Structure 1
Amino acid sequence: MGISLLPTWSDAARVQATTETPAVMSSGPIVGLAVSPGQERTRRSPQPDRDGSSGSAMEGLPEQLQQNFNNRENNMNAIYRMYRDKLPVVVAALLMAALTNPISAWAQSPEADSRIISLDEVVVTGLGRPEPLSKIASTVQVVDSEHLRESLDNSVTELMRERAVAFFSEWTPGQTSITMRGARGDGQGRDYRGQVLVLLNGRRAGTANLSKLSPDQLDRIEIIRGPASVAFGNQAMGGVINLITRDGRSVSGGTASIEAGSYGFGRAKAEYGSAVAGNLAGYVGVNGMTSDDFDGGSGASKQINTAVDRRGALAALNWDLGPSQWLNLTLRTHGVYDAGFRGSSWDYDNYDDRWNNSVDLSYAGVLDDLGIDLNAQVYAFRDVDSFHWGSEVRGFDTDNLRRELTAYGARLTPEFQLTETTRLLVGFDGESSQLRGTRTRTSVSGEPVSQVAHYDNNEDNLLTAGYAELTQSFLDDRLTGRAGVRYTRNELSRRDTPNLNLSGEPDRTFDGTTYGVGLAYAVLPGLKARASYATGFRAPTGRELAGESSAVLTPDRITRGNPDLDAEESEQFEVGLTYAPGNLFFDAAVFDQTIKGRITTGPYVDDIRQFLNADGDAEVQGIEVQAQLDAAPWLGLADQRLTIGADGTWNFKLLADGIDRGDSGPYGHKLQRLNEYLAALRLGYEWRERWGFSLVSLLYGPFYYDTEERLLPTAEPARNFVHRKDAYWVFNVRGHYNVTDRVTVYGGITNLLDKNQHPMFVAIDEQPYISDPSNSNGGRGNSMRGRFFSAGIRVTF
């Protein structure tokens, strides 16, 4: 992996600043620009009657649901007891192993693949400004531009799944949620309700639903794990995912491609970047995709209502204002339209439109005489979810919801060179956002019907924050220490919400002080040890404080807000080791994350439940590993590349202390909606830049979930029963052939072995069915896409 196009802002960079590219980093929101889709769309899926039952008859159910539960746990519990509270011992062992193994000749080969990450790699997400990886005390994962350009993935979710970044629920082709280090995103991808922060060019993206976003027009993705940066406050408890877009400096020339595949799949995209004038560069990119309902894996039927369309575009202008000063403007829209939503009732006709539009203007400059690096950004975004759903109430036909989040923000982050070894970063964030929604129910007869409140309260938020971080170098720049603090204040004002009577205090203010400290030490050239401690928090939303709504699937049950809620808080310890001598990159981290005061819901009492802060803590301890190897020089393969990659997480402690909502069963104490372990293994080969192939192996580890699906009593003895999904593998293969220097043909097979599974749903589409037919809206289970073929051609100009 090559060095980032973003500057390091080191003294050397100051001298050559006129040839560098500026960083565009910040964390905040942006305003919407794209044209909204039509109100109604024609479905490509069949439309069954709502009154009849569907699905096949039940045949032979499992004899005992809980059989072998204890045996499944024995090995993991024994290992957990071995490592519990011994994080420093594990890291010491990793460090000793590295020190006692000499750096081999092949690992220092000058012919190393430039795509292998090094400790000189520049990342920008840690502090919102460029910084070499060797100085960072937290775990960073990078998806580089070459990987993004070669990817056949249709969404950011699919792309990051192949790097084992986190757990992704993949509810539908257009909706996912994230769980990282025990911190969970909202099921519908609402970022203001989640614990993982998604950024676009360093500012708040406005959504945590990565399935809504396309990887087209992305130049780079950086992931910071845990609440490791004071540059990002509310919601960054589990980590930060920063999507960095392309511009006229990162793209020179044009590319166009078209591809087709199974299940009516088609995709086309094009981009062009160039210098427009002496000091001005521009970029434009467009993309579109369509897919019909897909088949599930082996033994599953067609997954009716999984069709989806995608559209997106991005335009960027970049100005060199003078020596060491840059200005960047980016306008962007991405969305999924007519996206089927089977959900937990296996529905045949619900569908969604979801889009995210934004604009941001950023400035970066180096004021040499004053010893100041300056970054500033203003932005706006609009994020819209429009749900076209059927009603579960007798006599009602539709229950449509629309949610719109609009925000305007600014960010200023100057950095001061106090001495040759001391730097001080200070920052200010300000953001104003408005959340609005509507909900409309219609009757079968067309007569007027009663209306109810939508899921989220209408509310305004004014967020302000100030932060500072001091970075000090010691021992001839081998040891870097840092300490930072952030104060965040969120002023929430509840606004009139249709069909909801406001009660209690309409305005609430939440504030929080988070901080972090860390050390990064260059033990040897190419070997870095690190340790850090950090805290995070998330403030309650208006709905959690004072909402009152019923879900479409359970119209007779009400979820009520709680004005006495406190903010969620987290703390994390991490120690790690990075070994990057040349054409090898290896990183291992051991972490301990505790989340306190999680906002959840209590049990139903007379069909009413209320939000509350959980009494017990959520605790996650685990090991994360990243590895990249260019084996061609080692094997003497001239003019060839043989790359091996691995990413993985083993969460050897998943504890929800104090059983949530009275969860039952032998796994009721487990933290839910994340895998016990997760891995992605990659093998790639390329011959003389003419042809190549890659194999990606994905391991989904055991998964715990109190599902909202309605199952038969033989499959679920109680509604609050926590299920365990077993581990499974999925394999993907891809290949390409460069016909000429400008023409490439490519193709791939996803789910090569036609595995019938789903990352989250317990009831998959296979017989004998375990789903309850009386609660079905068409299907009897959800399965991920089965074996999928695609092929295309790409032309550069």
Structure 2
Amino acid sequence: MPTRSVSQARAASICAVVSACIAAGLAHAGEQRMDLAELSIEQLLSLEVYSASRFVQKVSDAPSSVSVVTAADIRAFGWRTLADILRSMRGLYLSNDRNYAYLGARGFLRPGDYNTRFLLLVDGSRINDAVYDQASIGTDFLVDVDLIERVEFVPGPGSSIYGANALFGIINIITKNGRDLSGAQASIEYGSQGMRKARASYGMRHDDGTEWLLSVNDFREDGADLYFPEFDTPAANGGVARRMDYDRAQNLLMKGAAGPWSISVAHSERTKGIPTAAFSQVFNDPRSRTVDTRTSVDAVYRARLAADAEVTSRIYWGRYDYMGDYVYGAPVPTVNRDGARANWWGAETRFVMTPVEGHKLVAGAEVQRDYRRRQFNFDIEPFLARLDDQRAGNRLGVYAQDEFTLRPDLLLNAGVRYDYTSSTGDSNINPRVALIHKASASTTFKAITGTAFRAPNAYELYYDLRAAGGQKANPSLKAERVRTNELSAEHYFSPDARLTASLFRNTVSDLITQTVDPADGLLVFRNLDRVKAHGAELELERAWSSGARLRSSVSWQHAVDDVTGTAL
């Protein structure tokens, strides 16, 4: 039976990304040339970022070696999914099983992990769902890539400010506003393997500051016919999966802002064919597919309390539905439906203030109520119920951080957060400290240490298909934790060329691992491993006045089981 676990993936110990692009085209050549040529690399790369500290700060001041990709980068390099964008960032690598895209970092890409060790945000609001804690980055991502203003990736532990799932990094997607469109837009795309996409958008900003945006798109790809030698028999169509690798997705985004208020509504639906006969299915059966549906509603209130203090309050609601149809049995195949329904709401209040010269404080509290975590499994015809598990849970967190200017060239950033998770009854306290030295106008050094955690999700805790010989639940799981030490340096050779280097060492304890119980042969998640990883990352970025742009990075990563010495 389907257990929704990832096939064993190998993470390369040395991964490199080298890409270059000449920003030239027909309709948009002049616009791209202006974006890349008239701005120096310092303006493009030393952007103000939000994600590292939950307030706007320069990249050089952030307590992490932040990577930023802008809308101009996305347009110039032609990236079409969030996974494409993340693949271009140093230290990250991807795997794809022709159903979902999986993200790895610093030596970790685990079987059974649906990107749960990354926290995914859209405009600062948590998007990881309430059943799998999944960060969706492929065509199942919530927002059309054409509406992304920039992507901020904050590597390393982020639980001191964001709580659970910020184990290996924070991905924050900042979307465009009405003023970025200033009218109507329409686009049509065609590509190989039957790819076509249509988008219609309208955005406007009025003289009183009110603005709004509405965008819809439809994406379809037929996919290629794929040959699998494992199924090369006459009964299995000679090992060729025909019209099985299709992908269909639709997205809706609505945003509005008036005075101190802003609201956004996002919705996505994705249907993906499964050509691989995953989980021992019948090969080349067109009924094999997954359907992912997501909805997010986010309302934010921002107000300045005084010249040196402001407050931000947020309330949000989310929904995620997953359905997988898997075909088993011969000579009369049966469709087994595996699925989940998740609903949650949350609220947060955050204060940013500078009460004393040289100190910038951020403090806040947030709560999330996962009021529906349902997992189910049944055979469609004849109907046979195999699983119907319904749960609820709460998450609570409070945090504080101080950015202390020790002297003009030296910053100390220190923060800590307390989290409580009702599913496990665990409390977690996670600090982060960063010392930032601006050796010169062109060179910055950072020393960062901190911890983070990931609470087990409802799938790992409660999914139980032991009667069907698949997977059994383990409600005694506890959170996994990571301790990170990192050194980084950033140097500008010139206003249009930047080099970034990082050295890191991670120690992960109580790592949640999917394994086979020798007593009954069933899959089960357990806190088994203690893992150590270390490595180095190097990135070079360069822009030329002609509009050409270079992004090049190389990473060396080595992760081993601390008990057996086996490489991950």
2:196 aligned with 1:291: no
The match for 1:479 among 401, 410, 413 is 410
Distance 2:500 2:201 in 1: 34
2:492 aligned with 1:587: no
Give the CA deviation at 1:166.
2.0
Residue deviations 1:522-574 (CA, integer Å, cap 9, x gap): 10002100010010111223443454225xxxx85343233443211110000
Q: Secondary structure at the match of 2:193?
A: coil
1:712-727 equivalences under 5 Å are none
Give the CA deviation at 1:592.
0.6
Give the CA deviation at 1:293.
2.5
> Cα–Cα, structure 1 residues 142 and 186, in superposed 2: closer, same or farther, change >3 Å?
farther
Q: Give the alignment's TM-score, normalised by structure 1.
A: 0.60
2:316 aligned with 1:411: no
Which residue of structure 2 lines up, in the alignment, with residue 102 of structure 1?
none
The match for 1:238 among 151, 165, 168 is 168
The match for 2:373 among 435, 458, 461 is 435
Give the CA deviation at 1:354.
0.9
Give the CA deviation at 1:423.
1.5
Distance 1:114 1:141 in 2: 17
Q: Secondary structure at the match of 1:209?
A: coil
2:101 aligned with 1:176: yes
* 2:61–2:411 contact (8 Å) kept in structure 1: yes
The one-letter amino acid of 2:196's match is G
2:540 aligned with 1:627: yes
Give the CA deviation at 1:162.
3.6
The match for 1:199 among 110, 121, 134 is 121
* 1:423–1:470 contact (8 Å) kept in structure 2: yes
2:86 aligned with 1:126: no
The match for 1:265 among 186, 191, 195 is 195
2:508 aligned with 1:611: no
The match for 1:166 among 87, 92, 96 is 92
The one-letter amino acid of 1:418's match is P
Give the CA deviation at 1:438.
2.5
Distance 2:302 2:506 in 1: 35
Distance 2:393 2:551 in 1: 43
The one-letter amino acid of 1:313's match is L
* 1:112–1:582 contact (8 Å) kept in structure 2: no
Give the CA deviation at 1:407.
1.1
2:241 aligned with 1:314: no
Q: Secondary structure at the match of 1:235?
A: coil
Q: Secondary structure at the match of 1:230?
A: helix
1:85-96 equivalences under 5 Å are none
Which residue of structure 2 lines up, in the alignment, with residue 686 of structure 1?
none
> Cα–Cα, structure 1 residues 625 and 249, in superposed 2: closer, same or farther, change >3 Å?
farther
The one-letter amino acid of 1:156's match is L
Q: Secondary structure at the match of 1:128?
A: coil
Distance 1:515 1:198 in 2: 20
Residue deviations 1:339-358 (CA, integer Å, cap 9, x gap): 44535458423111112111
Between stretches 213-222 and 234-243, larger displacement belongs to 213-222
> Cα–Cα, structure 1 residues 669 and 628, in superposed 2: closer, same or farther, change >3 Å?
same
Which residue of structure 2 lines up, in the alignment, with residue 601 of structure 1?
514
Q: Which has the larger radius of gyration?
A: 1
* 2:373–2:390 contact (8 Å) kept in structure 1: yes
Distance 2:242 2:561 in 1: 34
The one-letter amino acid of 1:599's match is I
The match for 1:562 among 439, 455, 474 is 474
Residue deviations 1:252-291 (CA, integer Å, cap 9, x gap): 2332211212222111112222114523111111211111
Distance 1:654 1:373 in 2: 43
The one-letter amino acid of 1:181's match is R
The one-letter amino acid of 1:196's match is F
> Cα–Cα, structure 1 residues 576 and 164, in superposed 2: closer, same or farther, change >3 Å?
closer
Distance 1:437 1:524 in 2: 55
* 2:53–2:63 contact (8 Å) kept in structure 1: no
1:179-578 equivalences under 5 Å are 179-184=104-109, 187=112, 189=114, 194-206=116-128, 207-211=134-138, 212-213=140-141, 214-228=144-158, 230-276=160-206, 278-295=208-225, 304-319=243-258, 321=259, 326-340=260-274, 342=276, 344=278, 345=280, 347-348=283-284, 349=286, 350-369=288-307, 371-392=308-329, 397-433=334-370, 434-443=372-381, 446=382, 448=383, 450-453=384-387, 457-476=389-408, 478-492=409-423, 508-550=424-466, 556-578=468-490
Q: Secondary structure at the match of 1:137?
A: coil
1:706-785 equivalences under 5 Å are none
Residue segments in structure 1 that go unaligned for 5+ positions in a row: 1-72, 78-109, 493-507, 633-639, 660-667, 672-797
Give the CA deviation at 1:395.
5.8
Distance 1:228 1:209 in 2: 19
* 1:618–1:655 contact (8 Å) kept in structure 2: yes
Give the CA deviation at 1:295.
4.8
Distance 1:153 1:380 in 2: 29
Distance 2:41 2:506 in 1: 31
The one-letter amino acid of 1:451's match is A
Give the CA deviation at 1:307.
0.6
* 1:177–1:187 contact (8 Å) kept in structure 2: no
Higher strand content, 1 or 2: 2
Residue deviations 1:310-338 (CA, integer Å, cap 9, x gap): 1111111111x2xxxx3211111123125
> Cα–Cα, structure 1 residues 599 and 473, in superposed 2: closer, same or farther, change >3 Å?
same
Q: Secondary structure at the match of 1:606?
A: coil
Aligned residue pair count = 512
The one-letter amino acid of 2:205's match is A
Residue segments in structure 2 that go unaligned for 5+ positions in a row: 1-11, 15-35, 129-133, 230-238
2:554 aligned with 1:648: yes
> Cα–Cα, structure 1 residues 387 and 186, in superposed 2: closer, same or farther, change >3 Å?
same
2:82 aligned with 1:156: yes
The one-letter amino acid of 1:491's match is S
Q: Secondary structure at the match of 2:366?
A: strand
**What is the root-mean-square deviation of aligned Cα atoms in Å?**
2.9
Distance 1:222 1:233 in 2: 18
Give the CA deviation at 1:585.
1.8
Give the CA deviation at 1:464.
0.6
Residue deviations 1:740-760 (CA, integer Å, cap 9, x gap): xxxxxxxxxxxxxxxxxxxxx
Q: Secondary structure at the match of 2:355?
A: strand
Which residue of structure 2 lines up, in the alignment, with residue 706 of structure 1?
none
> Cα–Cα, structure 1 residues 611 and 558, in superposed 2: closer, same or farther, change >3 Å?
same
Q: Secondary structure at the match of 2:541?
A: strand
Residue deviations 1:460-496 (CA, integer Å, cap 9, x gap): 11111000011100222x111011110000112xxxx
Residue deviations 1:416-466 (CA, integer Å, cap 9, x gap): 2121211211011111112113322034xx4x5x43126xx4221111100
> Cα–Cα, structure 1 residues 367 and 185, in superposed 2: closer, same or farther, change >3 Å?
farther
The one-letter amino acid of 1:516's match is R
* 2:314–2:349 contact (8 Å) kept in structure 1: yes
Q: Secondary structure at the match of 1:231?
A: helix
* 1:274–1:283 contact (8 Å) kept in structure 2: yes
* 1:140–1:222 contact (8 Å) kept in structure 2: yes
> Cα–Cα, structure 1 residues 158 and 280, in superposed 2: closer, same or farther, change >3 Å?
same
* 1:479–1:520 contact (8 Å) kept in structure 2: yes
> Cα–Cα, structure 1 residues 162 and 298, in superposed 2: closer, same or farther, change >3 Å?
farther
